[in-house]
A and B are shown apart, each in its own frame.
Chain A
Amino acid sequence: MNGFRAVFKRELKGYFATPVAYVFLVIFLFVAGYWTFKDGFYQMRQADMTIFFGNLPWLFVIMVPATAMRLWAEERKTGSIELLFTLPITVSQAVIGKFLAAWTFLAIALALTFPVPLTVCYLGDPDVGLIITGYLASLLIAGGFLAIGSFFSALSKNQVISFILAVVACAILMLSGMPTTLNYLANTLPAPMLGVVESLSFQTHFDSILKGVIEFKDIAYFIILIVGWTSVCSIILNERKAS
């Protein structure tokens, strides 16, 4: 536990010790707000945050791998991984510590979008439950992308490579649930396969939580995704930390 706490604390502080956090937060908040209002927040004449939450996953496809790319690639490039793993810290403690620190950072970014719900509350009488599930879904999808990103970060010493691979992987998992993709695949794939593709997608599970329905299968999807990718990340690191 101790190793985990040390890594978590160091990582989270590390975001704010460099300009990384501030650059990220400014861009994230600007784009999240800009897309919301550009896509007709006022024209909808509805006091809800559907547009805001609907756009977030696409913003995360770029922004989350950008947060995740440095997690391990930097450690391996600068050699500090040799320091980390000669301290009494196990690989899984370090992987979980780093993952949760980055996730906390993303949660802070999400929390800083508070003016949007405040605006909605000021303008009308929104369903607070929907806003809460919206944030929950966004946090879960950020965690899923982050787990994928941390895996690719462990895979390569080069941050650019790990960033690109993570973006592609996240985008594929997002796109596979889009109606256009599914319609196209419906012509080539048999129906059961199509169901598999659909249920593997982020979009499907994200949308159903967004609607305010918290189902076990949706939560389980994200948890399995996060646990799966971070475990593979640990295995990869155990194998190649020194190479």
Chain B
Amino acid sequence: MISVKQLRRTFGPIVAVDDVSFEVAQGDVLGFLGPNGAGKSTAMKMLACFLPPDSGTATVCGHDILKDPIAVRKSVGYLAENAPAYNEMTVGGFLNFVCDARQITGQARNKALDRIVPLCSVDSVYHQTIDTLSKGYRRRVGLAQALIHDPQVLILDEPTDGLDPNQKHEVRQLINEMAKDKCIIISTHILEEVELVCNRAIIIARGKILVDSTPDDLKTEYNCTLDKVFRKITATKKIA
């Protein structure tokens, strides 16, 4: 469902994403791993059609990110790194705005809200303005926004960052439940999360893909925990 071909993006002299290609199929949960500044977020922003690539392209659900960005955005649910939202709006107002933008109206909107509000457990803050929310709640509002149209493809940039252990567990469960019929990419620094939810892992550093494998294969191949695998791969490459 997602096919990335030689995607490249630079910011001035810095090459953020360098010639990255991979495929993700329906039912896949792809964990995007890498040290800070590796290019994870940049790659995700390009897939969500926020940043245009310098060269290369990608297709999401058959739509090219360069030729038909609006169709891509329609089929993607995207949670950005710090869960941006309009701070002066209430949670309800904000979700209604997203429904407006995504053409979810009338009965369908009520249904979508009835589904998503308890799912992301934002019922208790529904009438609160977003700037009064804690980090965890903000992220849940962001998640609700990304899931409201029940997208085929989910791109989540650190979805569990700032959540308490219970919420982390809930979000992981949610991802596992949705995994069957969706195509999900998540980026994370928490390696246990990768083992729990992902069936594929890509390790990226300095914009290049170093490993494209599964968590289990990685563990058997290196014969240690994912934590150590991650350190071995990203650290040795830096020295070399």
Contacts and interface: CB of A to CB of B under 8 A. Distances in A.
B100 A79 contact: no
Given A78-B87, A88-B73, A2 B101 contact: yes
A241 B101 contact: no
A82 interface: yes
Contacts of A242: 45, 50-51
A241 B69 CA distance: 15
A129 interface: no
Determine chain A's interface SS by DSSP, over half rule. Answer: helix
B154 interface: no
Given A80-B86, A82-B50, A82-B84, A87 B45 contact: no
B14 to A, nearest CB: 13
Given A9-B100, A88-B102, A83 B84 contact: yes
B103 A86 contact: no
B86 A86 contact: no
B100 A5 contact: yes
Interface in A78-136: 78-83, 85-90
Central interface residue in A17, A78, A88, by most chain B CB within 10 Å: A88
A17 B131 CA distance: 13
Contacts, number: 67
Contacts of A2: 100-101, 103
B48 interface: yes
Contacts of A10: 86, 89, 97, 100
B88 interface: yes
B7 interface: no
B85 A83 contact: yes
B225 interface: no
Nearest to A5: B100
| Category for how many chain A residues contact B | 20 to 34
A85 B50 contact: yes
B87 A83 contact: no
A76 B69 CA distance: 20
Interface in A199-243: 241-242
Interface residues of B, number: 27
B98 interface: yes
Interface stretch (B74-82, B169-177, B178-186, B194-202): B74-82
B100 A18 contact: no
B102 to A, nearest CB: 6
Interface string B44-87: 01001111000000000000000000110110101010101111
B89 A17 contact: yes
Contact of B50 (A78, A86, A90): A86
Nearest to A83: B84
B40 to A, nearest CB: 15
B82 A87 contact: no
A178 interface: no
B100 A86 contact: no
A195 interface: no
A88 B78 contact: no
Interface string A1-32: 01101110110011001100000000000000
Contacts of A79: 80, 82, 84
A6 B104 CA distance: 11
Interface string B102-141: 1100000000000000000000000000000000000000
A241 B102 contact: no
Interface of A: 2-3, 5-7, 9-10, 13-14, 17-18, 78-83, 85-90, 241-242
16 contacts: A2-B103, A9-B97, A14-B89, A17-B88, A17-B89, A78-B87, A79-B80, A79-B82, A82-B80, A82-B84, A83-B80, A83-B145, A86-B50, A87-B102, A88-B70, A90-B70
Interface of B: 45, 48-51, 70-71, 73-74, 76, 78, 80, 82, 84-89, 93, 97-98, 100-103, 145
A-B pairs with lowest CB-CB distance, top 6: A6-B100, A79-B84, A6-B101, A87-B101, A88-B73, A86-B48
